[in-house]
Structure 1
Amino acid sequence: MVLQRYDQLYRKSSKTLNGIPPWKLFTFTFWGSPIGWQKFMAPQEPWSYNPLGGEWNLVPYQMPDNQFYLGYHLSECQNISYIAPSERKDQVLILANRSASFHRPYNMLDISRWPSIVKGIAGELINLSENEDGYPIPKGLVGLGPQDREAYSLLLRDSKASLGIGHPQLSTGPYASLCHGVPVILPFKSRRCPAHPPSTDWCGFTGNLNLHQHGAIASTLSEPFVYMVDVEERKDDLVATIWRAMKTPIEPIVFPEMTVEALTRRVEDYFHIDWKELAARRMLDRGWNEVVTQEFMYAWLEKHPVTPQIP
């Protein structure tokens, strides 16, 4: 397959006057563009989908390298009644939607640890993941399979804690948990990432490096809302941490940055920015005459050709 390059066909230039100006190219990405994320053969240095900079990445959380924080509106708790912690079931909801999440290379909790976790918790560990071929679900978990949104919210509301196991690295799950007043337990690897990394550190958004899970929420909250478990140095702490979270009631959290009003303000900010002027200043600072797409993106596309979408 001959790869038709954006630079040659679509980017506005002296040869393609009807092309798309680079400053108009934005990427909606849930993951941002983490350093060390090799999905697109990216270099071990700051990068973005648009060479002009991270500002052209529209992301769901506050991330490093000036990625544009657009975010989203969290509405998980609006139509679900609150249940006091004392009335909840002795259950922990596992934050995983795929059985592959329990296995390498995705997991941060080794599969061999589950028997001791199941034995150490005097309650049920609820698993809602899809059972995938070749990725068996650990024994002892209560498997209910994938749920629709309302059923999931009810299960979460009725739980005393939720538990992350390393994958996915980012999701809405911890925020939904806390808005129901359910504490969250998350894994991290202390040798390369702190328990509560700042939003300016990519180690909390580690892509496929499995250093931390849900660094966005861990950067702003600690116990009794968010409990961190070091899966490298203090492996015996997990069961005790789960118990502590289950026995420590919290009030539901309303995230001000996830209200409709806050999201609307950020969308308005996005449309009020003079992106053309910002791109011109960026090119001047870098001494560029034109914007050229990074070679590593083309190298990736040559190995993973994209099939055109026919409307």
Structure 2
Amino acid sequence: MDITRDTLRLRPSPYLGLLFPEATPEDAKNTDDSNARVLQSLLSCLATATCTENQTKIVLLADSHFALSVRGSVSGEDIWAASVLGALKHLGYSSLYSDNLQSASFYYRMFPDLVKVVFGECEDITNCFGNELCVKSASNLLGIPIWKMFSLHFWNGACHPLGGSWTLSPEDYRGVTRFLGYSLETECMTREVVPPDNRSDQVYVLAKWFRYFFADSYPWPHDALARAVEQTGLQFITGYTNDTETSPLWSPPVVNYGQMPKELFHERLSHSRALLGIGQPYLSPSPYDALCFGVPFINPIDKWDNDDRENRAKWSTQHDGLRFIEEPYVYHVHKRDVDGLVRALRGAKDNPIDRYIPPAMTEASLLDRVVSLLEHDWRSEAQALLNSAVEFLPK
């Protein structure tokens, strides 16, 4: 009689339901319960040989922005984390939340051979690398290998003991870090592009805080917006919170609706002719929302080479991820150039665009990069980089 594993009809243990109980089964924001569901599903499929593709490959989420994203936080880092998390779920990987590497180590010790990567914050990873009780070593055989740890670093520059290849970035910084990126495609595609004739003659000013108008990074002369209103017929709207303590020396000619829920922000943005940057916030995801809604972005250039003024590789802009995208999608204007600002506003008004998603920001592109990251042989690459003893980089 053939009693091989392939012919057996395996059933999960009746005691499996006693493990990993959920306190709030209906609460998707409870990361502890999410972990319980993942662990119970993983044990069940292993016991019955029914695991789906990638289910036995575990990703430890030791960066707090993953948990914050499912609880509704919408900072740039949270939006990035939410997109990566969505890609992991789409691909079928088993993801477990942790507050930091210390708590992630608890899960890692359960099934070290199943963990593909650990996402953490760069400072946490750097500290772990110098701590024998954290990183895997000859004296800590169940620690997390440094080559499995990847830092999610929002800004340009390497931030990992192994350098840029283990530093993941939301934007393509062209060789300094490993570009992981994110995508807003799934959500933004649920909103129809507003036809140009149905839009208001308004420009949305990207400003979450009132102090941005008075910071050194503010790129325009104080009279620039008033002159733009007079010369283009466009009005400026925004949604900031007044976080200044003293009366300002000048009042920006903008209609302020205050900080608003994301849906209302998207509604007002999608009915605008352009989204205007004012120096901060840096690398905000909002310009990608705008482009997906058919709204051009005006990107201030803060620094450049005076001898090579149009060399974009030498620019520093509010959103460096968009430096190489051309008009009519992104208008790049040098700091304090009021005439250039007016030309950009007129261009956006007179040359409306359709929905635009940069190729690197599509969902398919993100999925490809996630798979490439998780399925790469990082141990061999780290061994070659470090040229150190094999026991330092055990499997």
Supply the distance in 2 between the matched residues of 1:196 and 1:226 (Cα, whole angstroms).
16
Supply the distance in 1 between the matched residues of 2:390 and 2:376 (Cα, whole angstroms).
22
Question: Given that residues 102 and 111 in structure 1 are in contact (C-alpha distance below 8 angstroms), is that contact kept between their aligned partners in structure 2?
Answer: no
Aligned residue for 2:279? 166
How far is the alpha carbon of 1:134 from its aligned partner? 3.0
Aligned residue for 2:146? 22
- Change in 2 beyond 3 A, CA 1:112/1:16: farther
Q: State the Cα RMSD in Å.
A: 2.8
SS across alignment from 2:317:
coil
Q: TM-score, normalised by structure 1?
A: 0.74
Aligned residue for 1:278? 381
Aligned residue for 2:254? 141
How far is the alpha carbon of 1:157 from its aligned partner? 1.1
Identity %: 31
Aligned residue for 1:216? 321
Query: Which has the higher relative contact order, 1 or 2, with Cα contacts under 8 A spaced 6 or more apart?
Result: 1
Say which is worse superposed, 100-109 or 155-164, in terms of deviation. Answer: 100-109
SS across alignment from 2:236:
strand
Supply the distance in 2 between the matched residues of 1:114 and 1:259 (Cα, whole angstroms).
34
Supply the distance in 2 between the matched residues of 1:289 and 1:230 (Cα, whole angstroms).
52
- Change in 2 beyond 3 A, CA 1:103/1:57: same
Question: Given that residues 292 and 357 in structure 2 are in contact (C-alpha distance below 8 angstroms), is that contact kept between their aligned partners in structure 1?
Answer: yes
Where do 1:106-255 residues align within 5 Å?
Answer: 106-111=217-222, 113-134=224-245, 136=248, 138-189=251-302, 191-192=304-305, 197-198=312-313, 211-219=316-324, 221-231=325-335, 234-255=337-358
After the TM superposition, which parts of structure 1 deviate over 4 Å for at least 4 consecutive aligned residues? 193-196, 287-291
* Code of the aligned partner of 1:69: F
Aligned residue for 1:72? 182
SS across alignment from 2:243:
coil
Supply the distance in 1 between the matched residues of 2:318 and 2:389 (Cα, whole angstroms).
37
Supply the distance in 1 between the matched residues of 2:147 and 2:180 (Cα, whole angstroms).
17
Q: TM-score, normalised by structure 2?
A: 0.59
Aligned residue for 1:265? 368
- Change in 2 beyond 3 A, CA 1:191/1:28: closer
Question: Given that residues 296 and 348 in structure 2 are in contact (C-alpha distance below 8 angstroms), is that contact kept between their aligned partners in structure 1?
Answer: yes
Count residues with an aligned counterpart.
260
Question: Given that residues 91 and 159 in structure 1 are in contact (C-alpha distance below 8 angstroms), is that contact kept between their aligned partners in structure 2?
Answer: yes
Supply the distance in 1 between the matched residues of 2:169 and 2:207 (Cα, whole angstroms).
22
Aligned residue for 2:131? 8
How far is the alpha carbon of 1:288 from its aligned partner? 9.3
Kindly name which structure, 1 or 2, has the bigger radius of gyration based on alpha carbons: 2
In structure 2, which of residues 194, 197, 204 is the aligned counterpart of residue 93 of structure 1? 204
Question: Given that residues 224 and 248 in structure 1 are in contact (C-alpha distance below 8 angstroms), is that contact kept between their aligned partners in structure 2?
Answer: yes
